[in-house]
A and B are shown apart, each in its own frame.
Chain A
Amino acid sequence: DTAVSQTPKYLVTQMGNDKSIKCEQNLGHDTMYWYKQDSKKFLKIMFSYNNKELIINETVPNRFSPKSPDKAHLNLHINSLELGDSAVYFCASSPGQGYGYTFGSGTRLTVV
């Protein structure tokens, strides 16, 4: 069983479209995250939820909206996609704040 699973693995879409990425964890962790990895492999936090409550919201355009229907799921919806949104997006979870994360395998988003 995959501990942190994201779908889709690859997403190619046109500028201006709206898309969603889904994430589910079966580890029983309380905290989930979205990270963005750019072309230089730099990992930057976007959002964090603890038990369905938003606790971290970095400087991210409001076109990005996370949603956590329950503590095992954290989805990311992106409106009006732009070329600069192309990156790999990683979902992660941890048993609590400040502990090691378990990452999903990533969603490679390409905006054309």
Chain B
Amino acid sequence: GQQLNQSPQSMFIQEGEDVSMNCTSSSIFNTWLWYKQDPGEGPVLLIALYKAGELTSNGRLTAQFGITRKDSFLNISASIPSDVGIYFCAGGNSNTGKLIFGQGTTLQVKP
């Protein structure tokens, strides 16, 4: 079945540093999404990308939908302690109707 490879698996950074994580797949998706999950909560949508090559920002977050439709990255600039959590990429196809999730990147920020 379709799989996403998300990296890195975990990151431990200093407050103020920039962060980058990415997802790759052997399959093509027509939607890429990035979610954040806080402990005890469900994933919350951060950024949705619907067109190959699309670059979208949401505050300090920037994500891109790869030209090949097989990859996406998420950057977080000037990290702050509340950025701590698990970040998931997800690829979707409207014809299958389901999102496939990456394994998650656990981010820890040291004040």
Contacts and interface: CB of A to CB of B under 8 A. Distances in A.
B31 A99 contact: yes
Nearest to A9: B40
A45 B43 contact: no
B65 interface: no
10 contacts: A43-B43, A92-B42, A97-B98, A98-B92, A100-B45, A100-B48, A101-B43, A101-B99, A105-B41, A106-B41
Interface of A: 4, 31, 33, 40-45, 48, 50, 55-56, 90, 92, 96-106
A55 B44 contact: no
Interface string B6-47: 000000000000000000000000110101010011111100
Interface in B62-107: 86, 88, 92-101, 103-104, 106
Given A42-B104, A43-B101, A98 B93 contact: yes
How many of chain B's residues touch chain A, expressed as a range?
20 to 34
Contacts of B97: 31, 48, 50, 55-56, 97-98
Contacts of A31: 97
A41 B38 CA distance: 12
Given A105-B41, A105-B42, A96 B104 contact: no
Contacts of A40: 103
A106 B104 contact: no
Given A48-B97, A55-B97, A97-B97, A42 B103 contact: yes
Contacts of A50: 97
Task: Across the A-B interface, give the 7 residue pairs with the lowest CB-CB distance, nearest first.
Answer: A98-B94, A97-B97, A103-B42, A43-B101, A100-B48, A98-B92, A100-B45
B99 A45 contact: yes
A44 B11 CA distance: 23
B31 A98 contact: yes
A107 to B, nearest CB: 10
A48 B98 contact: yes
B44 A103 contact: yes
A101 B86 contact: no
